[in-house]
A and B are shown apart, each in its own frame.
Chain A
């Protein structure tokens, strides 16, 4: 190889290549995602299944938020929809990537990639792209089931959908980054689901996914308020519930400013943790 060729090399390993490889990894990762029946059930279909079970089981109790005479209010399905969307965002990001990357670290996938000229950033793009694609499909499915199986009226104004868009994008980005960060915790691939799934399940119970948030004791609301899921749920309630429901939120309003700040703080914290802790393999001294 001539000297000229050698000095020309760094240009070939620039940002364009990182993006191109990232894009090819999105397709590769997404294909693998849909081939894993366990992720498909516990991550992709889980919110749809839970929405169906809760809607069917509790509709006998009547509508939520009715007038004193029992009229009005919204169906159980409509009441559960925002929480299930928030849960879907959390599962698609944190649970999916947390388990996936921990498994890849332990089964040698990361070690193999670490010996190739694949940039770490391309690997991250691939994972985040996979999260984004699968989560958009998951939420599309949730909305279809809510609308056509349970007759939930979806918002028709542009403002609600604009709120939906930013809460969703901020939520899924935060979730994906936290998934990469949390993947360091399990010591082995086999323990990954045991380490990651239980805290995420508990978070769903205390963050207003399965239980109405305003009915939880104040101290539990305060604990949930530290974590991002509560804020995703609040943002989604602002989108999908009638304005009158805002009165039962802690401040009596949807407080979208706080939603944005809480999610941004978690996003930045997650990025810092990823930057500091991600390694292809555990390097020894």
Chain B
């Protein structure tokens, strides 16, 4: 990947708070136009990573380049090319949705149309309502609207759909797909595995400040973690077999037993694989501690 195709490049990124290492040296690249998800449990280092890239925090060591610039030295022209949706906001909200978007639009050289953005986040009917009178989910949509109003080349989304109901999440996914079609590069952190699967081209799993795995979402985890399981009942006992050829296993079962009782073929869900990944990382860590 040449630097012109790379939106974000991170090498051995580390962050220490005193003796505590929040990030222990992670590396990844995000291509222009790509949607990249950072997955991981609370405290894994997702927000620390994203805030270093946004220029809010300084790194302890390692390299970071965001749109060709070191985020420690990003000026106004650099910020004008970013869109940032922070994790939480508690502003007093004494302005209406439209007033707030109009105000933020003036800050950018080439902003999107205010009413278009309001409609895209599904707040057309609330455009004249003061932000403090909106529900939590509606306020979150205002955050997203403010993040995209400046027509960013790179959009940071830190747990954007926390507090959304299922319908709002689906609408949000549509919005993100639209931005992606426009060529926006997106870095997303999320707790929701289905969200990462729906939206991202690639994902990185972070746990304990380290990168545990990286790749297209459907390839995450060790290959054996995705092997399907065939389960059935035989002589009153539940039996199961992990096999990459479940059809053959079922055919053999059928030949042997006739119609097998309670037959099912289970493919490990993304969630199972993810929990396995994070779980085995934590078990390893435990072991290291015991032997140390």
CA of A31 to CA of B104, assembled, Å = 15
Contact partners of A119 in chain B: CB under 8 A: 76
Query: Is chain A's interface secondary structure helix, strand, loop, or mixed overall?
Result: helix
Is B240 interfacial (CB 8 A cutoff)?
A: no
Is A36 interfacial (CB 8 A cutoff)?
A: yes
Q: Which of B58, B94, B104 contacts A116 (CB 8 A)?
A: B104
Contact partners of A21 in chain B: CB under 8 A: 106-107
B106 to A112, Cβ gap below 8 A? no
B94 to A36, Cβ gap below 8 A? yes
- Per-residue A-contact encoding for B79-112, CB less than 8 Å = 1, 0 else: 1101010101111101100010001101111000
Number of interface residues of A (CB under 8 A): 30
CA of A81 to CA of B91, assembled, Å = 37
Q: Which of B77, B82, B99, B108 contacts A28 (CB 8 A)?
A: B99
Closest chain A CB from B49 CB (angstroms):
14
Among A7-15, A64-72, A205-213, the one that faces the other chain is A7-15
Once A107-B92, A108-B91, A283-B57 are accepted as A-B contacts, the answer to whether A117 and B79 lie under 8 Å apart by CB is yes
Contact partners of B90 in chain A: CB under 8 A: 107-108
Interface residues in B127-182 by Cβ distance below 8 A to A read 130, 146, 150
| Nearest opposing residue in chain A for B87, CB measure | A108
Contact partners of B82 in chain A: CB under 8 A: 115
Closest chain B CB from A124 CB (angstroms):
15
Closest chain B CB from A31 CB (angstroms):
7
Contact partners of B89 in chain A: CB under 8 A: 107-108, 112
Contact partners of A116 in chain B: CB under 8 A: 79, 84, 104, 107-108, 150
Interface residues in B13-69 by Cβ distance below 8 A to A read 17, 54-58
Q: Which of B77, B92, B99, B103 contacts A117 (CB 8 A)?
A: B77
B58 to A32, Cβ gap below 8 A? no
| Nearest opposing residue in chain B for A25, CB measure | B103
Name the interface size band of chain B.
20 to 34
Contact partners of B86 in chain A: CB under 8 A: 108, 111-112, 115
Contact partners of B103 in chain A: CB under 8 A: 24-25, 28
Closest chain A CB from B16 CB (angstroms):
9
Is A281 interfacial (CB 8 A cutoff)?
A: yes
Q: Which of A32, A103, A109, A115 contacts B79 (CB 8 A)?
A: A115
B91 to A13, Cβ gap below 8 A? no
Is A118 interfacial (CB 8 A cutoff)?
A: yes
CA of A285 to CA of B109, assembled, Å = 32
Q: Which of A36, A104, A115, A281 contacts B84 (CB 8 A)?
A: A115
CA of A285 to CA of B130, assembled, Å = 37
Interface residues in A1-35 by Cβ distance below 8 A to B read 9-10, 12-13, 20-21, 24-25, 28, 31-32, 35
Find the residue from A20, A112, A116 having the highest chain B CB count within 10 A.
A116
Is A114 interfacial (CB 8 A cutoff)?
A: yes
Interface on B for A, CB 8 Å cutoff? 17, 54-58, 75-77, 79-80, 82, 84, 86, 88-92, 94-95, 99, 103-104, 106-109, 130, 146, 150
Interface on A for B, CB 8 Å cutoff? 9-10, 12-13, 20-21, 24-25, 28, 31-32, 35-36, 103-104, 107-109, 111-112, 114-119, 281, 283-285
Q: Shortest 10 CB-CB distances between A and B: which pairs? A: A115-B84, A117-B80, A117-B76, A35-B94, A117-B79, A107-B90, A108-B89, A9-B77, A13-B76, A118-B107
Given contacts A35-B95, A104-B91, 6 further A-B contacts (CB under 8 A): A9-B77, A21-B106, A108-B91, A112-B84, A112-B146, A283-B56
23 contacts between A and B (CB under 8 A): A24-B106, A31-B95, A32-B95, A36-B94, A107-B91, A108-B88, A108-B91, A111-B56, A112-B86, A112-B91, A115-B54, A115-B55, A115-B56, A115-B79, A116-B104, A116-B107, A116-B108, A117-B76, A117-B108, A117-B150, A119-B76, A284-B17, A284-B58
